[in-house]
Amino acid sequence: MTRLAGKTALVTGGSRGIGAATTLRLAQDGADVALTYERARDRAEAVAAQVGALGRRAVVLQADSADPAALTAAVDKAAAELGGLDILVNNAGIWHYGEVGSWGLDEIDKVIAVNVRAVIVASQAAARHLRDGGRIITTGSCLAERVTEPGIALYAMSKAALIGFTKGLARDLGPRGITVNIVHPGSTDTDMNPADGDHAEAQRRRMAIPRFGEARDIAGLVAYLASEEGRFITGAGIAIDGGVNT
């Protein structure tokens, strides 16, 4: 498929899970792709090698999403290396579990820094480079709209904040034809939440389709939003969660 032929993209947190699947899907659809990683360079290089095998260019960038200067530099370098930017996928994020009385200020700051501030910083940096008609797509969570159990309030808050940011940014960038959307995955089989994990069965019981999604499912939705077919979708939050929030 070549519906993204000639396009360039940056995927934050693109070395594993949904980020890696998204990087590969964008490349399969014809885009050259830059991806960031925090520590696992070997995994990022492995993803880049797969992109290269598809005949597309890959750029691997080390950046801690909690570091605004490093993240901004990564966006700028991606645009420079790829000759511009058409698509930003804000995928990097961290999980947090713990009831409210257990949170330390350092934990609160870390979750907000990675899950919220990094999306703002990367989007702000990318907006300087995005060509008219570009795309910003953020990985949210079905927990942003329905909190299904105790202990996830801080994480849910961080993902819920992105809904308002997405809607506002869609207004700001709409005159340039740039769309801004957020996808809300449900339980997805990754190393962070494996389908055979200790809490997997409880998650399946909440779904209309009682199975975990695959990272490629989320990547397919992102690729659609990044394509020409997604040109009139903006400010939207789209659930891809097996019906857990129905």
3-state DSSP call for residue 140? coil
**180 beta partners:** 136
Catalytic residue among 37, 97, 155, 224: 155
DSSP per residue over 16-79, as a string? SHHHHHHHHHHHHTT-EEEEEESS-HHHHHHHHHHHHHTT--EEEEE--TT-HHHHHHHHHHHH
Contact 148, 128 (CB under 8 A): no
| 37 counts as catalytic | no
DSSP per residue over 66-121, as a string? T-HHHHHHHHHHHHHHHTSEEEEEE---------GGG--HHHHHHHHIIIIIHHHH
Catalytic residues: 155
